[in-house]
Amino acid sequence: MHYDPIKDSLAERIKLFPALRRLFYRALDLLLLRQRYVKAEIERYFRDGMRFYDAGAGFCQYSDFVLKNYPNSRVLATDLKTEYLRQYSFTSGPRFSYMNGDLQVFRPKHQYDMAIAIDILEHIEDDVAVIKNIHSSLSNEGIFIISTPSRSDPAAHFTAEHVRPGYDKGELEKKLLDSGFEIVSSAYSYGFFGALSWRLMIKYPLMLWGKTKLWAPIIALWYFLLLPVSELLMRFDMLRTNSSGTGIIIVVRKK
pLDDT of residue 87: 92
Angle, helices 20-31 vs 4-16, to 10°: value is: 140
Lowest mean pLDDT, pick from 43-52, 65-74, 79-88, 154-163: 154-163
pLDDT of residue 19: 85
Burial class (CB in 10 A: 0-12, 13-18, 19+), 173: middle
Per-residue pLDDT of 167-184, as tens digits, reads 999 999 999 999 999 999
pLDDT of residue 165: 82
Stretch 31-55: mean pLDDT: 97
* 80 close to 105: Cβ distance less than 8 angstroms: no
- Could you tell me which residue, 154 or 17, shows the higher pLDDT? 17
pLDDT of residue 40: 98
Collapse the DSSP code of 23 into the 3-class scheme (helix H, G, I; strand E, B; otherwise coil) and give the result: helix
Q: Kindly list the strands in the beta sheet with 74-79, ordered across the sheet, starting from the edge strand earlier in the chain.
A: 96-100, 74-79, 51-55, 112-118, 138-149, 247-254, 181-189
Stretch 205-211: mean pLDDT: 82
User: What's the pTM?
Assistant: 0.91
Query: Is the per-residue pLDDT at 154 higher than 80?
Result: no
pLDDT of residue 31: 94
Stretch 130-138: mean pLDDT: 97
Per-residue pLDDT of 228-243, as tens digits, reads 999 999 999 999 999 9
